[in-house]
Chains A and B, each alone.
Chain A
Amino acid sequence: MSIDSLSRYIDDLLNAEEPDARSYVAGLPGGGRELLPLLATARAVHIALRSIEVDRERANQSQERARKTLNEVLNSHEGPGRK
C-alpha cells in the first residue's frame, strides 16, 4: 500500500540510510508511478530541512541562558523538582 511505503521510506531517510525509491514501489499497481514523485518530495523536504544552518554562536548563547535559568530556578524558593 502506497501510504505504508511512504511511511517506510521516511523511516529509512530518518535513519540516515540512502533508500532507493524504486525498491519501495516494487509490486505496486502501475509500478508505483504515482508514489515515486511523493517519495522524491519527501526526500527533498528531508534534505532541505536538514540543510537549514543553525548559527552556532546564537545556539551557544541560548545554552548559556538555559544554564543560567536552571541555576536561578534551583536557587529559588521552589526548585524545579520540588512541589
Chain B
Amino acid sequence: MRRRAQTDSDLIARVRAGDQDALDVLHGRYYPRLYKLAYVRLGSADDAHDVASETFVRAILHVRQLHPLKTRSLYPWLHAVAMNLITDFIRRRSVRRHASLDDRTSSELMSYIEQIANGSPPPDQVLHRKEVQETIRAAIASLPEAQATSVLYRFLGEMSIREMAEAMGRSEGAVKSLLHRAIVTLRTRLSPQAARRATSVLEEEQHVHRQSLKIHR
C-alpha cells in the first residue's frame, strides 16, 4: 500500500486539538472517496455531494470517538457513517438502477476486457465514457452487500487486505476470497447477456408501472 505522508491517526489528533490545516488534509484525502462511494450507491451527483459533506460534519461532531483508530485508515469509519446516510437516502427516494445498461456499452466493455486479457494495449478511453462508468457503477451497486463493501474498501478506500480483514472482522484469506467472488460476479454482470436481462427487467418494471398508472386513473 502507498505510504501516507501524514497518518490518519496523527491528523485526527491534530483535528482534536483544533488544527484546521489537518482537517483540510483529511477532507482532501477522503471527500472524493466518500463522494464516489455515495455516487456508486445512489447514482446521483447531487445526493452524493450531500452525503459526503454530511459525513464530514458527523465525523467532526464525533471526532472524540475516533481515537484510537481500529485500523490505520480512517476510511472504514467514514464509510460506515456514509452508508448510514446513504441508507436514509434510499429509504426516502427510489434510486436509479440499471438505467444505462445496454448491449452496446456492455459489448464495448467486454471487448476492452478481452483485449487486456489478450495482452493488447488497453484503450482506457472507453472507461471514461459516462455510459460505461454508469454500467460499472450499477453493477457494483447491485452486488451482494459484503462483496460491494470489499470492492469499495479496496478500490475507493485503497485499503490493504490486512486493513480490510481488521475492519470486516474476517481473516485475510476470507477477505481475498470475498474480493475474488466480487470480481467474478462483476465480470458476469458486465456481460452483454446480463445487460440484456437487466434491460428486460427494467422494461418489465416500466410496463408494470404504466399499467398501474392506467388502473389508478
Contacts and interface: CB of A to CB of B under 8 A. Distances in A.
Interface of A: 2-4, 6-7, 10-11, 14-16, 20-22, 36-49, 51-52, 54-55, 58-59, 61-63, 65-67, 69-70, 73-74, 79-83
Contacts, number: 154
Interface string B1-29: 11000000000000111101001100110
Contacts of A66: 23, 27, 53, 56-57, 60
Majority SS at the chain A contact face: helix
Given A20-B119, A40-B113, A74-B18, A7 B176 contact: yes
Interface of B: 1-2, 15-18, 20, 23-24, 27-28, 31-32, 35-36, 39-40, 45, 49, 52-53, 56-57, 60-61, 63-64, 109, 112-119, 122, 124, 127-128, 132-133, 136-137, 140, 151, 154-156, 158, 160-161, 176-177, 179-180, 183-184, 186-187, 190
Contacts of B56: 62, 65-66, 69
